């Protein structure tokens, strides 16, 4: 508890000094303050871009590449499935014809004969879960 109080007091003192220094610099040398802030912003931007560039390359080589590989393999095996066109005109009333329809065939909304094609990427297949007795 005492350490927490010392840490928050130290942070408060540092922020107070920073505020006083910022006010002093603003009052005595506003041009220098502006150039200092501009330099800080440019440096922070360069560091941010470098960090983004380096993390983007390391993430794409991980589990995401395995997923892309399995998607490509699935597409290669099964091709693209043609989806049935979706009905969007639910609010339109059906047009009544003069002669009655002799056959009332209802087309299914989806073709359910084609099941999903799943590929196991990687996982803990042989490991059993811990169970509490």
pLDDT at 23: 94
Q: How far apart are CA 111 and CA 115, in angstroms?
A: 9
How far apart CA 66 and CA 73 sit, in angstroms, is 11
**pLDDT band (50, 70, 90) for residue 69:** confident
Counting other chains too, the contacts that 113-116 makes at CB distance below 8 Å and 24 or more residues apart are 114/81
pLDDT surpassing 90 at residue 126? no
* Tens-digit pLDDT profile for residues 77-104: 887 655 555 555 555 556 665 655 555 6
Give yes or no for a contact between 41 and 33, defined as CB atoms under 8 angstroms apart: no
| Predicted structure pTM score | 0.37
For the purposes of burial, counting CB atoms within 10 Å of the CB of 33, is it exposed (0-12), middle (13-18) or buried (19 or more)?
Answer: middle
- Rounded CA gap, 77 and 71, in Å? 10
Pick the residue with more confidence: 75 or 110?
75
Which alpha helices (H) appear in 61-131, and where do they start and end? 63-78
13 φ/ψ angles, rounded to the nearest 5 degrees: -65, -40
Q: What is the pLDDT of residue 26?
A: 92
Helices 30-60 and 2-28: crossing angle in degrees, nearest 10, is 130
């Amino acid at each position: 508890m005492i350490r927490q109080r010392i840490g928050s007091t130290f942070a408060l003192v540092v922020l107070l000094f920073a505020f006083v220094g910022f006010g002093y610099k603003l009052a005595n040398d506003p041009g220098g303050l502006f150039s200092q802030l501009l330099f800080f912003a440019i440096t922070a931007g360069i560091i941010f871009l470098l960090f983004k560039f380096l993390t983007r390359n390391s993430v794409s080589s991980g589990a995401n590449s395995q997923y892309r590989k399995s998607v490509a393999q699935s597409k290669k095996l099964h091709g693209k499935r043609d989806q049935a066109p979706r009905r969007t005109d639910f609010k339109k009333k059906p047009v009544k014809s003069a002669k009655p329809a002799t056959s009332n065939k209802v087309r299914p909304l989806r073709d359910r004969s084609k099941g999903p094609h799943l590929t196991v990427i990687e996982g803990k297949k042989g490991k059993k879960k811990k169970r509490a007795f």
